[in-house]
């Protein structure tokens, strides 16, 4: 038996990005799956999952990470282009667009209470305004 993903998966894709064998597939914001024939049981996905949705071969979960242990995204509003790629790709809907100034320029802001630090937003950022 290999690692598996529970229904608690939020579809952030952190596990798929970390998997050295490309054994994990899925669609952002939907539950991902592990191909048991490709999984080499390294545990990389188990350690990275921000929701503890990965089950080890014995069916046990990693301990839930405390809020302080989960890194959250930060957006530099001076660098943000307002393209909204991060907002559209965030599986937790933790990013909102905010209008600023007289000309109503837009920048994005992260709700730290909803962010799980999956890095999906940073990968889609065209200006590099997002850090984790």
Q: Which domains occur in the chain, in start order?
A: 1-64 (3.30.70.20), 68-131 (3.30.70.3270)
DSSP state string for 52-84 = --EE-TTSPBPPPPPGGGS---EE-TTT-----
Q: What is the DSSP letter of 29?
A: T
Long-range contacts of 100-107 (CB under 8 A, 24+ apart): 106/82, 107/75, 107/77, 107/80, 107/82
Query: pLDDT tens-digit profile of 77-116?
Result: 889 988 999 999 887 788 999 887 766 688 899 998 788 7
d(CA 83, CA 72): 20
Q: Assess whether pLDDT exceeds 90 at residue 117.
A: no
Which contiguous run of DSSP H or E holds residue 89? helix 85-89
pTM: 0.57
> What's the mean pLDDT when you consider all of the chain?
86
Nearest Cα residue to 122 out of 9, 12, 6: 12
Query: pLDDT tens-digit profile of 50-73?
Result: 889 999 999 999 876 655 556 788
């Amino acid at each position: 038996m290999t690692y598996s993903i529970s229904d608690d998966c939020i579809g952030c894709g952190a596990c798929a990005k970390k998997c050295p064998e490309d054994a994990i597939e899925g669609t952002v914001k939907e539950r991902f799956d592990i191909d048991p024939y490709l999984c080499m049981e390294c545990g990389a996905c188990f350690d990275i999952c921000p929701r503890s949705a990965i089950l080890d071969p014995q069916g046990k979960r990693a301990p839930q990470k405390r809020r302080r242990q989960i890194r959250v995204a930060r957006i530099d509003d001076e660098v943000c282009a307002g393209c909204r790629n991060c907002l559209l790709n965030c599986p937790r809907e933790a990013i909102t667009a905010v209008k600023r100034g007289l000309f109503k320029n837009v920048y994005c802001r992260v709700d730290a209470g909803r962010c799980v630090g999956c890095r999906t937003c940073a990968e889609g950022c065209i200006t590099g305004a997002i850090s984790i």
